[in-house]
Amino acid sequence: MDFSGILSIATGGLKVQAKRMEVISENIANADSTASKPGGDPYRRKVPIFRVSVEPHSQQTAVVFAGVKRDQRAFGTRLEPGNPAADPSGVVKVPNIDPLVEQMDMRDAQRSYEANLNVISATRRLLARTIDILRA
């Protein structure tokens, strides 16, 4: 594999992890939201979907962002009779988001992002050394 292939794969990894962090951030931001109408459904957790892509001319595989899907787990509930989103019995549905899980996912995405940055930095150093050797 050549340097451009390595850089291409690592750049793809950066893009995927950035999109993953965006989805996780949206989940964290909506963790305490409720429905806009009584008895309605609140924000539903989003999960990023990835797929493997093969470039036809180079036959290199890469992971790409394929979209998001909604987590179909059940919503939580809280008893809040004064909340405008409460049903007639005073129960409010809350998002199916566990902030601790989202924080762990965010940390994992950040570490993966940093690993891809390190690959790019190391490749750039190798390219610079190769050019220095060729000049000598």
pLDDT, tens digit (0-9, with 9 covering 90-100), for 57-110: 777 788 899 999 999 999 999 998 888 888 889 899 999 999 999 999 999 999
End-to-end CA distance of the chain: 24
- Which whole-number Å values give the CA distances from 6 to 14, 15, 62, 74, 109, in the listed order? 12, 14, 10, 42, 20
Dist. CA 48–CA 101, nearest whole Å: 14
- Residue span of the structural domain in which 131 resides: 3-135
Tokens of 93: 């549905």
Backbone φ and ψ for 75, nearest 5 degrees, come out as -75, 155
Dist. CA 65–CA 12, nearest whole Å: 9
- Which whole-number Å values give the CA distances from 114 to 13, 49, 109, 118, 135, in the listed order? 10, 20, 9, 6, 32
For the chain, the domain total comes to 1
Q: Which of 94, 95, 98, 73 is closest to 83 using CA atoms?
A: 94
- Determine the pLDDT at residue 1: 60
Angle, CA of 4, 133 and 126, to the nearest 5°: 35
- Determine the pLDDT at residue 84: 87
- Determine the pLDDT at residue 97: 96
